[in-house]
Structure 1
Amino acid sequence: MNLNKLKAILLILGIMLFKPFQVIAADKSDYKTPPQYVEYKASKNAFSIVVNGKSASIYLDDSDWKGVIRAANDLADDVRKVSQIKPDIFHKSIYPAKGAILIGTIGKSKIIDQLIADKKIDVSEIKGQWESFIIQTVDGNLVVAGSDKRGTIYGIYDMSEKIGVSPWYFWADVPAKKSNQLFVKAGRYVQESPKVKYRGIFINDEWPSFGGWASIKFGGINSKMYVNMFELLLRLKANYMWPAMWSSAFNEDDPMSPALADEYGIVMGTSHHEPMMRSQKEYTKRKQEIGDWDFVKNSTNLEKFWFEGLNRNKNYENLITMSMRGDGDVAMGKGNDLDNIKTLENVIKSQRDIIQKVYNDDPANHPQLWAIFTEVQRYYDAGFNVPDDITLLFCDNNWGYIRRIAPPKEKNRKGGSGLYYHIDMNGGPNNDRWVNTTTIPKLQEQFNLAYQSGLDRIWIVNVGDLKPKELPIDFIMHFAWNPDAYPASKTMDYTINWAKGIFGKEHAEEIADIVSKYSKYNLLRKAEVQTPQIFSYVNHNEADRMLQLWKDVTAKAEALEAKIAPELKDTYYQLVLYPTKASAGVAEIYLSAGKNQLYAKQGRVSANDYAQKAKDLFALDKKLSDYYNGPMSNGKWKNMMSDIHIGYTTWQMPKENKLPELKEVMRLAEPAMGIATEGSEAAWPANQEKLQLPVFDILKKQSYYIDVFNRGTGSFEFEAKANQPWIKLSSNKGKVEKDVRILVDVDWKKLSEGKSTGIVEIKKDNEIIAVSVNAVKAALPKLKEPFFGNFTGEFTIPAYQFNANKPGKDAKWIVLPDLGKGKANMGISYVTARNITTEDGATLEYKVFLPTTGKSTVCLGILPTQDVYPQRGLRIGVTLDDQTPQVLDARKGFHDEFKEYTPEILARSSVLKPYPAINKNIALIGAGQFRRNEIFDNMRWLDFEIDVKEPGIHTLKVIMIDPEIVLEKIVVNPDNNYPSYFGAPPVLHNSK
């Protein structure tokens, strides 16, 4: 064997033997933490970045990309932040025999190319690939080699993060983790190309917060500000951006902005309604010169305008937005779709001709996108399409549910398909701008659906002001790189790792729990669509339960703040404490206002306390925001928390924060008794009808309350007495200054079977008021398995609490933890399954007790999945026992015209008919704006009837047909006499 062959074999063996942190594609059902190849104590053959007060030097080739050289300087400074020792940087192609960090791009760096030629490194896995890199210890040196400019930059920043510098060090004031020793394990780390090619953010809706902050901090939305954003994107391994556009012209306001974007390595684009690299503001300030934004009447001037814009940016890396909408991001033309389609055909042909002229090249060689936004969806559905090399950018519904999966006919499209997605919204159906209201489980479910179906060329996310949307931005960029690494079952693992990377290991689980809960509670009802009437104050203790959730998570966040290291206090306030405490405060404002309004109607003097509580919370909200905009981080984020977020009546942001209407109760001169019962908003004496509690049911395991309240000045004493021994009272007497609550329960051992009635008498002086008590006791079902059901009224079944989960031919139901309003939802794996029928679909089975024969109503609560596959529908099968399955289509009645959201569209559920309990709480607020609908409620209801042949235990079956449907809950016998937002709390019988 000759010497060269021996060297080659040894090299291969060396590579095989030293791969302790080689990345292997994560299994689709298994989350794997990214390898931590940096260590703080040296292992065998480890490379020393910093040891004994000295740092390894960095070597670069001057011929490499400017962005690579700039990032390498960042790495040197990051090492300094961690260790207090800054590496020297040498721009040479000759490097020491050992002890150096060698950084470069294949084909641009003589250092890297020589290592390849000498067979010191094997780059076969990354050469010619998009944005990939290797990090490898070789002959005592550490090599960072990228397949292209961004590949190298990502490798550099990957090391920065591993040594302890967070990508969020500027944008969330995360301090570097300190260590006087830094090592890299011996071995080879290969980062494969991202699964989504273009991954980025859209700064939008940027005034007053972001724009006000940038004006104070940088003198405007300019290159001084943008370089910090470019760096964040690169540290998150993102590559694409739409710049702020409300009052800014990225390319003209500061010509250094596009130049630096290109130098850094950021692909620039423009928003969905700004074609050919021209911002809307570039047009509006030239409007008199250019003329109308009307291609039919003014094509010559518009073509000139577009040519000049693209020609100006031709030397930069761009992703060109094509087509056009009406001026100001509205529908184009007079509403005639056929005419608009013909016009757009001419627009795109003209724009392609401009690309040809500017680049003197085939337009197919220059990436372009067509945003299928709002009314453009109709044009596409009607058959209008664009050249095959243009990426089809499909959109969500503005509130986080994608409107289309990649159509099968586009499977082999050269330009592929992508997704424009909102975690911030200014416009219909309603603003969602203030703090984070998007949970990681929801993002995982929706982006997984997008990715698996083929929306994988571009992901661009409307992030508003960027802050305080740090967590969802972080997740989306990680997920875009490799969606398979983040299955639904491990979303909390991701969040814990995020918290660990910023705050350290000690409190990571607590922080992950807090940020998961505050965003989940916000998603239950976002601040901008709150009203005092959303949650029920008299049924199922719903408002009180909602309030307690907020109080618990706030208490946890406040308690943990005391344990956070001083240098992390500002970071904690931004990422954890402020969004939690402020969100809880806004929620409690509306809950307090709701109680104030109800109690005022009932005549309770305590109504005034809730009015004062709302006012105090309103003042606290300002105090919290003022701290964010003031002392926090030494004033760094002044103006950033300026969005108005209390008092919306239409989708437009109000001029100022405004409290809901508050009522004042004038006290009577003397103490006076009033009585209110659970289940009714009416109270005695304003309501002279007979007072009664909801029916006690042996299977519901509930207690009910009677409130004895004061309507006047001073206090009074009362006595309470039941006329039946089976009625239990929490108290038999008391002194009432404002309110006293008596809990009523049943001693079922003392109650005979059948229907029983009794009375609780409330006595004040010579005044006696009777409250009727009714109870139903019957023989309990004989079943050892867990089951749901009762003898009276509605009952709720959480979808994840099934008795059996039977896989189908090509798919199965899986648990989606923490998705939706409860602990979990049920979704489908795989979401690309097709041609399923009720005979071979995956089936969930639930044991239910139904006490009477005849027809019963059942409602399936599903997430408001959009009309993602209009040629097919959104179908799900249901049946009782072995009856013939019914097929429900969630698309029936679906309104996906995506015109301006009208009250009629918002009010109706996109189903056969809405769950009746919704109807009573629909409130018409302000300028015709409804606040109850499937989008705001994050729930669509599918109603159907079952035929109960005989009383007893039955099996309710839910059969998957179309895989995009996500099931949250089932409500049986919905009871509109006791309406509520969440429905009756579930009671599982025979549970262990």
Structure 2
Amino acid sequence: MLALGFVLLSLVARIHAISSLPCTSTSEGFPIVQDGQAIPILVSVEDWEGVHIAVESFASDIERVTGIKPEVVTQNATSATATRAVIIGTLGKSALLDGLETSEIEGEWEAFTTGVVSSPIPGVEEAYILAGSDKRGTIYALYEHSEQFGVSPWYWWADVPTPHKDELYVSTTGCSHGPPTVQYRGIFLNDEQPALQNWAMEKFTNGSGSAATGSPFNHLFYVNVFELLLRLKGNYLWPAMWSSAFAVDDSENQRLADIYGIAMGTSHQEPMSRASPPEWNIYGTGPWNYTSNSEAIYDYWVDGVERAKTYETVYTLGMRGAGDLPLDESTNIALLERVISDQREILTKSYGNTSISTIPQIWALYKEVEGYYEDGLRVPDDVTLLWADDNWGNIRRFPLEAERNRSGGAGVYYHFDYVGDPRNYKWITTVELPKVHDQMSLAIERNATRLWIVNVGDLKPYEREIEWFLSYGYDSSAWNADNLDTYVTRWAQRDFGLEETDAALVSSIVANLTRFNARRTPELLTAQTYSLVYYREAESVAQAWDALVEAAEGVNDKLADDFKPAFYQLVLHPVLASANLGKMLISAGTNALRASQARLSTNNLADDVLEKFDYDYELETRYHSLLDGKWNHIMDQTHLGYYYWQQPMMNTMPTITRVQGKKQALSGAMRLVVENNPGAWPGDNPNQCAQGYSCPPPSITIDAFDVFGNKYVDVGAGGPKAFTFNVSTNASWLTVEPAGGSVSADSPESRVFLSVDWDQLEAGSTSAVATFKSLDEDQHSLSVGVTVVASNTKPSVPADFTGFVESGGVVSFEAAHAARNTSVDEITWKELPGAGRTHSGVTPWPRGDANFTVGTGPSLEYDFFSVNDGVNATAHVYVSPSLNGLGRDQPLGLGIQLDASVNTTYFMPVSAPGTLPSVWTQFVANASVEIKVPFGAIEAGEHTFKLWMVEPAVVVQKVVIDLGGLKPSYLGPPESKYQYGV
């Protein structure tokens, strides 16, 4: 008897599949290839054509692994002469399965079961059976085994090598998988110009494309997409739409999609299986206006349905304006009801005796269409409500409790790529899996599981994220917030042949790559995004990029040559290109700052920007040159020099400036800049003081709980003259490192660190002076004294205190680092590892609809110590920019408490139906929402800060308490020091 069920497979040193289904065995199972021989594969002639295609692929996969291709025998009878065989079949389409116990998958959607059976048919003594409940169930069984044998789903699309094995075995107990979590799971090829379209034009056409539209997306292109989707357990596709028409560009496209087993749809703004506007521009007459031109549009839709009805099709209902714009303002709900009624009438007439409730239909509640729904427009119960995100990965609304039992169910239209406000993001991966999991797990919790579709732009470079999205939709039980890194580790083991340690390193690299890019997408980054002055922010970001590059290149150096093209595509290029762009912009910002400071290194930074601008193109060219140009054009996307939301027509280098490097600064050879001050000494500088001239000498403060433990002073060249310098102090407790050095045009900067021996100081503030003296090559000397204030706060903090300690007038902590986590009604705050801009996020768990008044729900508590008395405290709570997914009547809320003072904030403004809040652009650009709550003056000493659950689905990233010293930065101050009481 073949049993349907799940068995977990423990992680081994090397993994050839991400799945945990125990389908294959190492050496003791049923042999598929043994002693140089492959057993034959039997498949019924009556089975689906798509199954036969997959069987041939399966046989080829076995050959990829072993070098031996099994014979595929197409059976037209229920007997064979092989002692052993692999028998593949679909219930109801294969007589080879007659008499076998498969009741556990009968009637199920896309289920399969496998196992070894004795004497399954006359002439075969023993066989390994792969049985599918339907066409895709059988195909998924085949590709699950292919992956476990060692063939990555990305063997073609990302050139992942297949490791060689002499022998292949499958488990004698078999494996099985029931119906998927989400019924339809697919991708949307979109925004495909310039990259995907240019690449496809070169690879799949003679240079002219479709006669109707000029599109290169013919069946030669699409069969690769179909196969990839099936290998990834997907089943649904929105085809490339701009200047393309799937059914018109190649008459084979629709037929082959159906044969392969892909259900075809059309995007949110293309009703009734027609590619609009391209097809309307060719075949339509009159305006795209159902008020004035309904007869022509109706007939146009009839033709679309007649063309599609013999194939597996999911129909998009409704109507948007031409060019994916809102309908004319005069359009009202009554007209849209008529549109949908007419479309349903067309389906009823075209499908004849078929019940319309069995025809898959979706109504995409995208942008203003959601507003129509909220204003009362309804569709029949059997139509799937396709809820949309905000184009930036934040789902606008989920099904409410009363909407969760509709027969048509609900789904989600999600984005990994977007063209529009506040700016396009379509160049490189910016997708954080923890963010996607956060949103899609909410979709599952709230029954939005009929259909998931994700906009993936050019498909590359979102390979890893596409696979996870489809995998999670296929089996949501496999992945949770705590094992997303395990998914990436297994992916790295499978696709790069890495041992577990190196694969875990790749998982860390990928997590940081996407975190850094998601903080602010590369297209939105500017030279001023990260603070160039405070908290060493820009420097820390640049150093993190350097560490990421070093780690990725280190892994690459260990790889065999045949793995390097895949690693470049999937890891190394995204890291190198992202790091280069990020550091280029930091250099451009620092270039402008140093010009204002009259530092010769301004010119070095200008050169660095130019070098990185050229390197950006070199990296793109390197990608296009891989494997004799297989991926030429796939990185054509421009990404530098955005002037507004739309892509620039050319990459433009960030603005740079230069100082006159052959002339000395008026103030002399030495330029002195102290940390946390944009000014420069000696001489006048607008940033030294408010007056801008005759400013006092520089000063710097160091306190005992400073995160970095020191402060720096930069000694720079003010022109071509070389000089030496030394630093002296008038206090033994002040340490200088180095105490001197030399600066020249070839080496125009030297950094000096100042630190304090706190054991020599009493409590309170103590001052000293560090004197910087320079002597240039003409024996001209300069002297600048830097006042150093040491604030010894250690004695004021009790030795037994445990918690965060104020430094520099700020307390900063990650939301996950709470001292206490109190549960209520089995709901607690859970950490979402990797979520957010700096460390992680926390959210109430499990997900649900429950809410609380502030002070009654689950809470997080943080202890901190304020060293100054009577200062005003303002809390800055950074949360992820989720939307009011439970509707206007239940907006996102959070309780924020400092000591006894409590505040309830509903931080995401309620907007008009179908619109986004006015602050939304800022929220998504910054990848966080800053909640600012003033609490008034507090005393020095111990304090407790609390976060209270008010509404579900809130994700808190970080908390900063401003005690009078907060400086402007993008990511906020680094986490304060934590004292462990004795």
Asked if TM exceeds 0.5, the reply is yes
| Residue aligning to 2:35 | 52
After superposition, where does 1:321-332 map in structure 2 within 5 Å?
Answer: 321-332=316-327
CA distance in 2, matches of 1:694, 1:407: 56
Q: Select the residue among 105, 128, 152 that pairs with 1:126.
A: 105
Q: Does the 8 A contact of 2:884 with 2:890 survive in 1?
A: no
Q: Does the alignment pair 1:516 with 2:499? A: no
CA distance in 2, matches of 1:782, 1:202: 59
Q: Does the alignment pair 1:846 with 2:879? A: no
**Alpha-carbon deviation of 1:866?**
1.1
Please give the per-residue CA displacement for 1:422-470, whole angstroms capped at 9, x wherever unaligned. 1011112211101111122222112112211221111100000001110
CA distance in 1, matches of 2:145, 2:978: 53
Q: Secondary structure at the match of 2:345?
A: helix
Q: Does the 8 A contact of 2:802 with 2:978 survive in 1?
A: yes
CA distance in 1, matches of 2:630, 2:321: 38
**Alpha-carbon deviation of 1:854?**
6.1
Q: Does the alignment pair 1:315 with 2:310? A: yes
- AA aligned to 2:952 is P
CA distance in 2, matches of 1:500, 1:796: 37
Q: Does the alignment pair 1:599 with 2:605? A: no
CA distance in 1, matches of 2:912, 2:298: 36
| Residue aligning to 2:222 | 226
Q: Does the alignment pair 1:216 with 2:202? A: yes
Q: Select the residue among 530, 542, 546 that pairs with 1:547.
A: 542
Please give the per-residue CA displacement for 1:318-355, whole angstroms capped at 9, x wherever unaligned. 11001011100011112x5xx43222111111111111
Instruction: Let me know the Cα RMSD of the aligned residues.
Output: 2.2
Q: Does the 8 A contact of 1:795 with 1:985 survive in 2?
A: no
Q: Secondary structure at the match of 1:580?
A: helix
Q: Does the alignment pair 1:661 with 2:655? A: yes
Q: Does the 8 A contact of 1:22 with 1:188 survive in 2?
A: no
| Residue aligning to 2:445 | 452
Q: Does the 8 A contact of 1:720 with 1:763 survive in 2?
A: yes
**Which deviates further from its counterpart, 205-214 or 733-742?**
733-742
**Which deviates further from its counterpart, 343-352 or 709-718?**
709-718
**Alpha-carbon deviation of 1:629?**
1.2
Q: Select the residue among 393, 396, 399 that pairs with 1:406.
A: 399
- AA aligned to 1:988 is K
CA distance in 2, matches of 1:25, 1:292: 61
**Alpha-carbon deviation of 1:950?**
4.0
CA distance in 2, matches of 1:424, 1:363: 34
Q: Secondary structure at the match of 2:979?
A: coil
Please give the per-residue CA displacement for 1:92-148, whole angstroms capped at 9, x wherever unaligned. 132347411111111111011x133xxxxx322211010000011111210000011
- AA aligned to 1:679 is N
After superposition, where does 1:751-762 map in structure 2 within 5 Å?
Answer: 751-762=761-772
Q: Does the 8 A contact of 1:60 with 1:102 survive in 2?
A: yes
Please give the per-residue CA displacement for 1:39-97, whole angstroms capped at 9, x wherever unaligned. 342x2xx2110001111111111111100111011111111111111111111132347
Q: Does the 8 A contact of 1:20 with 1:186 survive in 2?
A: no
- The 1:217/1:785 distance shift into structure 2, 3 A limit, reads farther
Q: Secondary structure at the match of 2:99?
A: helix
CA distance in 2, matches of 1:767, 1:549: 36
Q: Does the alignment pair 1:244 with 2:251? A: no
Q: Does the 8 A contact of 1:602 with 1:686 survive in 2?
A: no
Q: Does the 8 A contact of 1:23 with 1:189 survive in 2?
A: no
**Alpha-carbon deviation of 1:383?**
2.1
**Alpha-carbon deviation of 1:975?**
5.5
- AA aligned to 1:115 is G
Q: Select the residue among 346, 358, 371 that pairs with 1:354.
A: 346
**Alpha-carbon deviation of 1:690?**
2.4
CA distance in 2, matches of 1:677, 1:663: 22
Q: Does the alignment pair 1:798 with 2:828? A: no
Q: Select the residue among 791, 801, 818 that pairs with 1:776.
A: 791
- AA aligned to 1:960 is M
- AA aligned to 1:310 is V
- The 1:176/1:766 distance shift into structure 2, 3 A limit, reads closer
- AA aligned to 1:342 is A
**Which deviates further from its counterpart, 126-135 or 724-733?**
724-733
- The 1:309/1:563 distance shift into structure 2, 3 A limit, reads same
- AA aligned to 2:954 is I
Q: Select the residue among 777, 801, 825 that pairs with 2:841.
A: 825
- AA aligned to 1:554 is V
- The 1:893/1:704 distance shift into structure 2, 3 A limit, reads farther
**Alpha-carbon deviation of 1:22?**
4.2
Q: Does the 8 A contact of 1:249 with 1:281 survive in 2?
A: no
- The 1:67/1:500 distance shift into structure 2, 3 A limit, reads same
Percent identical? 35
| Residue aligning to 2:733 | 726
Q: Does the 8 A contact of 1:293 with 1:302 survive in 2?
A: yes
After superposition, where does 1:411-810 map in structure 2 within 5 Å?
Answer: 411-506=404-499, 507-630=502-625, 632-667=626-661, 669-670=663-664, 672-684=669-681, 685-687=683-685, 688=693, 689-701=695-707, 702-737=709-744, 738-764=748-774, 765-778=780-793, 779-782=795-798, 784=800, 786-790=802-806, 792-810=808-826
After superposition, where does 1:929-948 map in structure 2 within 5 Å?
Answer: 933-946=922-935
Q: Secondary structure at the match of 1:680?
A: coil
- AA aligned to 2:65 is V
Please give the per-residue CA displacement for 1:466-497, whole angstroms capped at 9, x wherever unaligned. 01110100111111112222111111001101
- The 1:20/1:652 distance shift into structure 2, 3 A limit, reads closer
| Residue aligning to 1:914 | none
- AA aligned to 2:731 is Q
CA distance in 1, matches of 2:749, 2:364: 57
**Alpha-carbon deviation of 1:667?**
2.4
**Alpha-carbon deviation of 1:192?**
0.8
- AA aligned to 2:219 is S
**Which deviates further from its counterpart, 884-893 or 99-108?**
884-893
Q: Does the 8 A contact of 1:206 with 1:464 survive in 2?
A: yes
Q: Does the 8 A contact of 1:800 with 1:825 survive in 2?
A: yes
CA distance in 1, matches of 2:265, 2:542: 43
- AA aligned to 1:989 is Y
Q: Secondary structure at the match of 2:768?
A: strand
Q: Does the 8 A contact of 1:818 with 1:825 survive in 2?
A: yes
| Residue aligning to 2:876 | 859
- The 1:209/1:268 distance shift into structure 2, 3 A limit, reads same
| Residue aligning to 2:208 | none
Please give the per-residue CA displacement for 1:163-202, whole angstroms capped at 9, x wherever unaligned. 1111111101112221111111211312011011110000
CA distance in 1, matches of 2:614, 2:970: 28
| Residue aligning to 1:109 | 94
- The 1:534/1:962 distance shift into structure 2, 3 A limit, reads same
- Number of aligned residue pairs: give it: 930
Q: Secondary structure at the match of 2:313?
A: coil
Q: Does the 8 A contact of 1:756 with 1:776 survive in 2?
A: yes
| Residue aligning to 2:212 | none
Q: Secondary structure at the match of 2:487?
A: helix
- Structure 2: which 5+ residue stretches go unaligned? 12-16, 119-125, 206-215, 686-692, 775-779
Q: Secondary structure at the match of 1:175?
A: coil
Q: Does the 8 A contact of 2:237 with 2:264 survive in 1?
A: yes
CA distance in 2, matches of 1:503, 1:761: 55
| Residue aligning to 1:888 | 905
Q: Does the alignment pair 1:873 with 2:891? A: yes
| Residue aligning to 1:915 | none
Please, what TM-score do these two structures have when normalized by structure 2?
Answer: 0.91
- The 1:896/1:579 distance shift into structure 2, 3 A limit, reads farther
CA distance in 1, matches of 2:832, 2:710: 32
Q: Does the 8 A contact of 1:239 with 1:266 survive in 2?
A: yes
- The 1:347/1:976 distance shift into structure 2, 3 A limit, reads farther
Q: Select the residue among 280, 289, 296 that pairs with 1:294.
A: 289
Please, what TM-score do these two structures have when normalized by structure 1?
Answer: 0.91
CA distance in 2, matches of 1:749, 1:634: 65
- AA aligned to 1:826 is V
CA distance in 2, matches of 1:396, 1:540: 34
Q: Does the 8 A contact of 1:679 with 1:693 survive in 2?
A: no
**Which deviates further from its counterpart, 969-978 or 291-300?**
969-978
Q: Does the 8 A contact of 1:789 with 1:849 survive in 2?
A: yes
| Residue aligning to 2:134 | 148
- Structure 1: which 5+ residue stretches go unaligned? 1-10, 117-121, 908-932
- AA aligned to 2:973 is A
**Alpha-carbon deviation of 1:571?**
0.8
